[in-house]
Amino acid sequence: MILVTNNEGTLGVPTTARLLADQAAALDAIEAGIRLIEADPSVRTVGRGGWANLIGQIELDACLMDGTTLRSGAVGALRDVLHPVSVARAVMQRLPHELLVGEGAARFAREIGAEPAENLIEDSRRVWQEWFDTTLTDAQKAAWPHIDLAALCRHAIDPEVGRDTTVFLAQDATGSICSGTSTSGWAWKYPGRLGDSPIVGAGSYADTRYGAAACTGAGEMTIRCGTARAVVLYMKKGASVADAVMEAVDDMRALKGGLISRVTIHAIDPRGNHSVVAVNGPGNNVYWLWDGAGEPRRCLAVAVRL
Rounded to an integer, what distance in angstroms lies between the CA atom of residue 78 and that of residue 90?
14
| Span between the terminal Cα atoms of the chain, in Å | 32
Whether 135 is catalytic:
no
- Alpha-carbon torsion (39, 97, 248, 60), positive or negative: negative
Give Cα 197 to chain centroid, integer Å: 4
β-strand 263-268 against 166-171: which pairing, if any?
A: unpaired
CB 283 within 8 A of CB 224: no
Rounded to an integer, what distance in angstroms lies between the CA atom of residue 304 and that of residue 306?
7
CB 207 within 8 A of CB 221: no
Edge-to-edge strand list for the sheet holding 274-279: 204-207, 211-217, 263-268, 274-279, 302-304
Catalytic residue chosen out of the listed positions 5, 10, 45, 165:
165
Rounded to an integer, what distance in angstroms lies between the CA atom of residue 68 and that of residue 178?
8
Count of helix runs (H) and strand runs (E) in the chain: 9, 13
Q: Which residues are catalytic?
A: 165
